[in-house]
Amino acid sequence: MCLAALAQTVETKNYLAGAVTTSDGKVVFSAEFKAPTLTQTQLYDLLLKWSEGRFVGNEEYHMNARVLYQNPEEGVIADGGEEWMVFTKNAISLDRTRVYYRLTLTCRDGSVDATISNIRYLYDENRDGGRKMSAEEAITDEVALNKSKTKLVYMYGKFRRETVDLKDDLFTSIRNTIANAVVANDPTAAPAPVVAQSPVATVAETPAVAEAPATVAVAEEPAVAVVEEPAVASETPAETPVEAPIVSVAVTDANGEQLTLDPSAWGGVSSMMGQPVAYIFVAANKALANAMMEGSDTYTIALGREGASAPESLTARRMSKMTMSGKEACEVNSQLDPATTYNVYLLSIAQ
């Protein structure tokens, strides 16, 4: 069974079909914010100050977020974003990625156009330099949703979910910044709530600024081209055909110690960022088995297939580990125990 091609259940449709929009094949998020009482100069000065506070570098983590471009005559501000997107964090593990993007703000009398484009990721950077992906490879409907567009797929779904949340956070912050300025400029005017499924975030006449994240629907606008890094080669998650069922799984570490696992522990092989990867499930309460998996970076995996005279041998390197509840694990493989917590080991397969 191929884990990367399977889906996990989500309770909201905010991340499903239509949540990520494209223009000319590129992922682009866009919104218009109206502020009838503010001039281009006022909006430009306001959002330049906001940008200088929001996009600040971090020397400790070598983050280089900054204002890239300023043009007061045309009312254009371009910001370069670089920050962490955290997928999971607990006492023993941290799963996160760097995300890079460009936010372009175009100010006119009475309105602002905001566009987020050129989104890319650097994942698992502490292992072999990390993996680079573009948004087109990781979060589009074709990559991050199942065939029926009803669920996020296991691996790429987390990139889509956190990217949509980042977009919502940026657009909400811009909206509230403009709304506060409208109120300060004219106390009788205040922002109306953003209407879901509308490409325009309107600043109209009500007395308060909502602090809760608002859903800003996106309109397709041409992406702003930025050439800051070489393009990342495209890849599509693919499932490796299985000729016969797996009947035995044995893992040998770099020290020659062997671990025999139940066939249900094998999560299958798929493609991730152009490289074959495999998944192995180990019950979290099996201390010795987990100690062996975590004590080595390389393994030899022997897969016994039904009817085969000899096991299939794979050479693998450990990439990362994540923890799943039994319920989550059973959505991937119904043979696993729903009452057991599992550690899932992601392994790169030598070609």
pLDDT at 188: 54
CA 222 to chain centre: 22
pLDDT at 7: 36
CA dist list (Å): 298 to 22, 126, 304, 315, 326: 39, 16, 20, 7, 26
Q: In b/e form, how buried is each residue of 327-351, taking b as 16+ CB within 10 angstroms? A: ebbbbbbeebeeebebbbbbbbbee
pLDDT at 177: 93
Q: Where are the beta strands (DSSP E) in the chain?
A: 7-8, 22-23, 26-27, 29-34, 66-71, 76-89, 94-108, 111-123, 131-134, 152-153, 200-202, 246-253, 258-261, 266-272, 275-283, 298-305, 312-324, 342-349
Beta strand pairing call for 26-27 and 66-71: unpaired
pLDDT at 168: 93
pLDDT at 346: 82
pLDDT at 44: 97
Alpha helix ranges (H) inside 128-156:
135-138, 141-144
Hey, what are 194's tokens?
């953003």
Local structure of 125: helix, strand or coil: coil
Question: Distance between the two ends of the chain, CA-based, in angstroms?
Answer: 20
> Are 305 and 278 spatial neighbours (Cβ–Cβ below 8 Å)?
no
pLDDT at 53: 94
> Mean pLDDT by 10-residue block, N- to C-terminus, for the chain (351 residues)?
39 78 95 93 96 88 89 96 90 87 96 96 85 93 90 89 94 92 70 40 43 44 45 46 77 88 85 74 89 87 89 87 83 83 86 69
